[in-house]
C-alpha cells in the first residue's frame, strides 16, 4: 500500500508542478499538521483537512479493486487538489506508523473521527429538538432549558467561539466533549435571536475553579458570585 501511495504522490508532484503550486500547497497543509485521518476502511479513508482561511474540509480518498487511489465525492472520482494531496500524505504517515489495519467490512474510527461523529449526532438531535429556553440577564447564563419531557436544566454558555459550556445533566459529566445537544441548542437559540443577544450583559458572572493534574484530566467547578 505504501508503494502505491508513493507512486501516486510522485505522479501528482509532477502533474501539479505547474498548476498554481497545488502540490506544494498540499504539502504545506500536511507539514503544518492540518490533516487528521478520521476513518479507515477496506476501500479508503476519510481525512479532515484545514485549508486556506481556516476552512475545514472532509476529504475522501478511495481505493478501487485495481489498487488505484483517487479522491471522491458522493462515491464518484473528482480531480486531485491541494487538500486531496495533503490527505494522501497524512494517510501515508499513519500507515507508516502502524495505524489500524484495514478490515474486510465496516470502518475503523480514529479517536478524532469518533469525536466528530458523536458531535454530529448530538448536533442533529439538537436541530430536531423543540426545547423551551428562558435566558438569564447575561449571555452566559444560567439559562433555564426545559426539554420535551418537561425536565429543567441549568445551562451555562462558556465559550461562544468553541461553543462549549456546562449543564447539570449526566451526559456532560461523562462524554468529555465540553458540550451536549442541550448546550448546542442553547447556543443556536441565543445566536439566532440577535436582539436578545445584544440586549443581554456580556460580563462573565461566574468564578471558575478547575484542577489540571499531570495526567491532564481536568475537573471544572463553576460558582455563581
Q: Where are the strands (E) in the chain, listed by range?
A: 35-41, 44-50, 56-63, 69-73, 76-77, 107-109, 132-134, 143-146, 152-159, 164-167, 207-211, 219-223
Q: Give pLDDT, residue 182.
A: 93
Q: Give pLDDT, residue 222.
A: 57
Please indicate, yes or no, whether the overall pTM of this predicted structure exceeds 0.75: no
- The answer to whether the CB of 7 falls within 8 A of the CB of 69 is no
**Main-chain dihedrals φ then ψ at residue 73, nearest 5 degrees:** -135, 120
Q: Give pLDDT, residue 103.
A: 45
The tens-digit pLDDT sequence of the chain (225 residues) is 888 888 889 888 887 665 667 888 898 888 888 888 888 877 888 898 887 766 778 899 998 888 889 998 877 889 898 999 999 999 988 888 765 554 445 566 666 777 777 788 888 888 888 899 999 999 998 999 998 888 899 999 989 988 999 998 877 877 778 899 999 999 999 999 999 999 999 998 887 776 555 544 455 555 555
Q: Give pLDDT, residue 208.
A: 72
Q: Give pLDDT, residue 217.
A: 47
Residue located via cell numbers 476513518: 39
What residues does each domain of the chain span? 2-109, 130-223
Q: Give pLDDT, residue 104.
A: 44
* Cα 204 to Cα 191: distance, rounded to the nearest angstrom: 17
Q: Give pLDDT, residue 106.
A: 57
pLDDT, tens digit, 9 for 90 and up, residues 111-167: 677 777 778 888 888 888 889 999 999 999 899 999 888 889 999 998 998 899 999
Q: Give pLDDT, residue 102.
A: 46
- The answer to whether the CB of 8 falls within 8 A of the CB of 28 is no
Amino acid at each position: 500500500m505504501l508503494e502505491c501511495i508513493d507512486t501516486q504522490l510522485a505522479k501528482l508532484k509532477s502533474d501539479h508542478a505547474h498548476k498554481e503550486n497545488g502540490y506544494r500547497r498540499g504539502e504545506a497543509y500536511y507539514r503544518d499538521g492540518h490533516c487528521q485521518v478520521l476513518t479507515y476502511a477496506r476501500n479508503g479513508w476519510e481525512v479532515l483537512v484545514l485549508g486556506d482561511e481556516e476552512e475545514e474540509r472532509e476529504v475522501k480518498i478511495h481505493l478501487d479493486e485495481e489498487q488505484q487511489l483517487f479522491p471522491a465525492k458522493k462515491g464518484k472520482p473528482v480531480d486531485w487538489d491541494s487538500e486531496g494531496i495533503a490527505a494522501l500524505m497524512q494517510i501515508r504517515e499513519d500507515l507508516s506508523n502502524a495505524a489500524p489495519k484495514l478490515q474486510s467490512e465496516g470502518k475503523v474510527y480514529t479517536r478524532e473521527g469518533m469525536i466528530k461523529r458523536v458531535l454530529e449526532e448530538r448536533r442533529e438531535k439538537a436541530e430536531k429538538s423543540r426545547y423551551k429556553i428562558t435566558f438569564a440577564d447575561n449571555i452566559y447564563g444560567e439559562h433555564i432549558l426545559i426539554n420535551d419531557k418537561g425536565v429543567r436544566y441549568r445551562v451555562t454558555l462558556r465559550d461562544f467561539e468553541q461553543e462549549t459550556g456546562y449543564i447539570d445533566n449526566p451526559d456532560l459529566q461523562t462524554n468529555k466533549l465540553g458540550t451536549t445537544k442541550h448546550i448546542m441548542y442553547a447556543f443556536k437559540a441565543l445566536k439566532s435571536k440577535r436582539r436578545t443577544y445584544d440586549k443581554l450583559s456580556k460580563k462573565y458572572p461566574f468564578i471558575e475553579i478547575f484542577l489540571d493534574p499531570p495526567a491532564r484530566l481536568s475537573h471544572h467547578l463553576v460558582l455563581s458570585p
